[in-house]
Structure 1
C-alpha cells in the first residue's frame, strides 16, 4: 500500500503497467536496491516490456541519485492525501536551545477518507466482530459509551494509535519516534502519521503539540463532517467539508512504552502514584499479596481526574471531548438541547442559546460555585432534559457519577410531583430528603478528594426545600406561627 493504492494485488493497475509497479514496489520496500530495480527495468525494456522507459534510464544515473529519483516516481500521482505541515517545538542537544521545526503529518481522518473511497464502513467493521470484542471487553465498553454519548445510530469503530521508537542509523545509536494509525482487529495494517528523530524531542512540548493535532483529526472522524487540513492553523482555506456516510470512529487504544506516559500526562515511575487504575506507590510495587492495599483501592474515571490536579498534573488535551474551545463545546451541547425541544413541544419557556458567558465556572478566588445564568422558566424547562443527559453521559459503574445520576433522578421526581395531578406530600418529602443527602454527599466527597473544590456546594436553599417538604403543601398563613 506504499503507493497509496488501496488494492495490494494491483488489480486496478492495467496489465501492461504491473511490471513497472512491481519494480517500484520492490525498491521502495527495500526488497532490492534502487540500482537493481532500475537494471531490471532496463533489461525488461530490452526484452520488449512497455511503460518502464523512465525507470530504465535511471540505470545510467550516478548511484547516489537513483534512490531519490526512483522514490519521486513512486509517489507521483498517489491516491493518498497530501501531507499537513505544522511547526512543532524541538530541542537541539548540540546547541542546547529550543526551536520550532517543520513536521509533516498524514492526518488520520484523511487516511480513513481515502480508504473509504474503495471500501465501505461495513467492510472495515468486519475486522471487529464478536470474536474480537470477546477478548477485549474494555474496547467494547469504550465503543458503547461513545455511541451513547454522541447519539450514534450504530456502534462506532475503534482505531488504534501506536507510539514507538525504532533505530534508524547503522550503529543503532539514534531512534526515530514513529506515530502510526491502525484499525483494531486488522493486524497487518498500520499507516505512519508522523515521525521525527527522538534526539530532537523537547520534553512534554513535542508530544503535546503532536497529540493536539491528532486529537483534532480524531474529533473529525468522530463527529463528521470530514474537514480538510486547510482548517488547521498554517494552511490555506480548503474546499467545502467532505462528508462520508459513517457512524463515527473513535480511538479505542493508545499503545506505547512507559516513557510515553508523560506525553499523555498519565502516572509514570516519576509520579507519587505510579498507576492510573489504583493508588499504588513505588514503595508498594513489591507487594503482590492478595490483600495488598492497591487491590482494594481501585480508581474510577472520576477518581483519576480528581487525583491529577491534586498531584500537580494535567489532563492531556488528547482526552478532551469534541470541540476545541468552550464555545464549540457549548454549541455541541446546545445542539442536543434543540433536539430535545423539537421532541417536546410542550416546553413553553426555551433557552434561546447557550454560550460560555452563561456558565459561571468554578472560581476559587471568589468563593463561587458553578452556575447557569438563565431565566427561572428556562431553567425549569431543562430539568427533564437534564435527566436524559445524565442517563446518556454518566457511568453507573463510577460511584461519583452514580451518585450524580441518582441526584438527577430525585430532582426530576421533585418537579414531576409539583404537578397538581401528581402531588403527594409524603413522596415529595422523601424525594427532597434523598436529593439533599445525595448533594451533600457529593460536596463532602469532592472536598475530601480535592480540597477547596466548589464543584458541589450545599446552600441555604437546600433547607428551604426541606421546610417546603415538611409543610406538605400547607399555606404558611394557616399555620399557628408566633
Structure 2
C-alpha cells in the first residue's frame, strides 16, 4: 500500500486461521473486497469452526464498512486521527465554509516511529540529497542542537472510475532512510479536489503543518490542540508533554511545477514577470543557457523571492511558517521535468524528423519504426516496452509540436533506442541533422549521469547545459513549431544548478503511493466528502500497517 513490504505472507504467521483472517482484512483494506463481502467471508469461516473469526450480526449491512474497519483497527499502534477545521468548498451551496478534515500529523507519526526504533540512526543523513544535508547542518549550527529532516509530497491523482475527480494527496517521508526502508510513505491527508477552496484550503493545511513542525523542533509533544483547545482523545492527553526523541524540520517538499504554482503561489510557466523562484528568468530570457545569461547572473535567495512576491502582490504561502523552511526546500522532480517533459519533447521531434526516411507513407513509417523498436527492446532485455506505436503518440493531431505520449518508465526505457535511431538515420554531414544527433547524445548522457556509479555533480551540470544549449540552437534552426524549447527546459537548468542527485529526491515512489491512496479512497457506496475520504484513507493505512521496526 504505502510500502513495498507485503503483508500476510504464508510463512510470516504460523496459524493458518490468522493468515486467512489477515488476507481477508488485507483485501478489504485495499478496496479489493467490499465490507459486506469481507464480513460474509468471516461469517463463513466462523461457521466452519475456524478460530479467530466472528459471525457478523444479521442486520450489519448498513454499517458493514464501519464495523469491519473497527475490527481491523483494534491493535493499531498509530495515533488516533487528528480532526481540524479548515476552509473547504461546498459544491452543493457553492460557498466556502469551515468543515472537519482528518489528519495524521507529522509530529505524532514521528513520535511513535522514534519510540518503536530507539536505537536506529535517524541522525545519519548520508542518504539525503546534498542540499538537505547542508540545510540541516546549517540549522543545527544556528540552534546549537542536532536536527534531522522530514519531507512532504503533494499532488492530485484520479480516484473514481471515470477519472473525472481527483484526490489531493499529502504524504510524509524520511529522506535519510536507506534501502529498503526508504520506500515508506506516511499519509497526512487526502481531500477530493472539488472540495478544495482555491487559496484557502491548502493555506489552512500548511498552517496546521507549521504548528506540527514547531512541535517537532521543540522536541515536546503538545499539551493542547493547534487552536488552543484541550485534547479530547485519551492518547493525546496521555502523551502530552513527553519528549520527542529527535528534533526535526521540514527540509524537503516535492511537487510538480503545476502544483508548486497553484498550491504554493510560486511562479508558473506563463508568468510575464518571471517563471522561476530562484532567478530572474522570464519568457524572453529563459532560452539563453550561456554562462552569461541574464538569469544566471541574477539569482534570488529566499528573502529576495519573498520580497518579489510581496511587491507583486502575490501569495506568500503559509508553508513558509514552517521553521527554517526556505525556497531551497522546494525540489523540482526529474519525473515531471524530464521523463514527462523535456525528454518526450526531444524524442517526439526526433521521430517526427526521421519518419520520412522509413517509408512512403506515415502508416508504413510508424510501423517500420515500431518494428525496429521491438527488436531493440528484445535484444537488450528492456522491460518497460510500449504495447503499440501510433502517429498520435508521436504528435497529437490537434497539436503543432511533436511530443511522445508515454508513461515515465516507458520514456526512460526509450532513451537508448532514440540514440540508436539518431546514430543510424541522421546524416552527420548535414548541419541540422548533425545538431539533432548531438542533442540526443547529450540527452543520453544526462540520463547516464543518474547512475550511482557515474554520479558527479559538475559533470551532470555540464551534460544538462550542453543538452539545453544544443536544443536552443535546434529551435533557431528548425521550422516553426518544431524543436520548441518550452519553459520546462528551464527547470532542468535549475535541477542541474542545485547540485543534488535527482535520485535523492525524485517522486516515483510518491506517485506510486499516491495512486494507492487514491484507490483506497474510492468507495463502493456511502458519502463522498472531505471527511469520509480522509478518514477512510488514514484508518485503512493505520489498520493495515503496524508502526515499522527498522532493522
**Which range, TM-score by smaller chain?**
0.5 to 0.7
Tell me the equivalent position of 1:264.
Answer: 264
The 1:322/1:12 distance shift into structure 2, 3 A limit, reads: farther
The 1:9/1:242 distance shift into structure 2, 3 A limit, reads: farther
Deviation of residue 47 (structure 1)? 4.6
| 2:85 aligned counterpart, secondary structure | strand
The 1:269/1:96 distance shift into structure 2, 3 A limit, reads: farther
Tell me the equivalent position of 1:50.
Answer: 51
CA-to-aligned-CA distance 1:138-180 (integer Å, 9 cap, x gap): 111111122112211x4x2211111111212211101111111
Q: How does 1:291-302 map to 2 (within 5 A)?
A: 291-302=292-303
| 2:164 aligned counterpart, secondary structure | coil
Tell me the equivalent position of 1:448.
Answer: none
For the residues of structure 2 that align with 1:245 and 1:89, how far apart are their CA atoms?
30
| 1:220 aligned counterpart, secondary structure | helix
Q: What's the C-alpha RMSD, in Å, of the aligned pairs?
A: 3.3
Tell me the equivalent position of 1:72.
Answer: 70
CA-to-aligned-CA distance 1:338-375 (integer Å, 9 cap, x gap): xxxxxxxxxxxxxxxxxxxxxxxxxxxxxxxxxxxxxx
Aligned length: 310
For the residues of structure 1 that align with 2:255 and 2:192, how far apart are their CA atoms?
16
Tell me the equivalent position of 1:305.
Answer: 306
Tell me the equivalent position of 2:164.
Answer: 173
Tell me the equivalent position of 1:207.
Answer: 202
CA-to-aligned-CA distance 1:46-103 (integer Å, 9 cap, x gap): 45421211xx426x66767543431232123532212222221122345432222221
Contact kept, 8 Å, 2:221 with 2:240, in 1: the verdict is yes
- The answer to whether the aligner puts 1:137 opposite 2:137 as a matched pair is no
For the residues of structure 1 that align with 2:41 and 2:21, how far apart are their CA atoms?
10
Contact kept, 8 Å, 2:220 with 2:244, in 1: the verdict is no
Choose which of 202, 213, 217 in structure 2 pairs with 1:218.
213
Contact kept, 8 Å, 1:182 with 1:190, in 2: the verdict is yes
The 1:36/1:230 distance shift into structure 2, 3 A limit, reads: same
Choose which of 153, 176, 192 in structure 2 pairs with 1:197.
192
| 1:242 aligned counterpart, secondary structure | coil
Q: How does 1:72-111 map to 2 (within 5 A)?
A: 72-111=70-109
The 1:71/1:151 distance shift into structure 2, 3 A limit, reads: same
CA-to-aligned-CA distance 1:261-314 (integer Å, 9 cap, x gap): 243333234642221111011333333445422122222233223323222235
What TM-score results when the alignment is normalised by the length of structure 1?
Answer: 0.57
| 1:230 aligned counterpart, secondary structure | coil
Tell me the equivalent position of 1:427.
Answer: none
For the residues of structure 1 that align with 2:95 and 2:321, how far apart are their CA atoms?
31
CA-to-aligned-CA distance 1:179-208 (integer Å, 9 cap, x gap): 111111443211211121111211111111
Deviation of residue 247 (structure 1)? 3.4
Q: Which has the larger radius of gyration?
A: 1
For the residues of structure 1 that align with 2:104 and 2:195, how far apart are their CA atoms?
20
Choose which of 151, 166, 182 in structure 1 pairs with 2:144.
151
Contact kept, 8 Å, 2:216 with 2:247, in 1: the verdict is yes
Q: Return 5+ residue gaps in structure 1 as ranges.
A: 324-482
- The answer to whether the aligner puts 1:315 opposite 2:320 as a matched pair is no
The 1:264/1:233 distance shift into structure 2, 3 A limit, reads: farther
Q: Return 5+ residue gaps in structure 2 as ranges.
A: 325-551
| 2:222 aligned counterpart, secondary structure | coil
Tell me the equivalent position of 2:27.
Answer: 26
Contact kept, 8 Å, 1:84 with 1:229, in 2: the verdict is no
Contact kept, 8 Å, 1:34 with 1:67, in 2: the verdict is yes
Deviation of residue 21 (structure 1)? 3.5
| 1:138 aligned counterpart, secondary structure | helix
Contact kept, 8 Å, 1:109 with 1:218, in 2: the verdict is yes
What TM-score results when the alignment is normalised by the length of structure 2?
Answer: 0.50
| 1:116 aligned counterpart, secondary structure | helix
Tell me the equivalent position of 1:358.
Answer: none
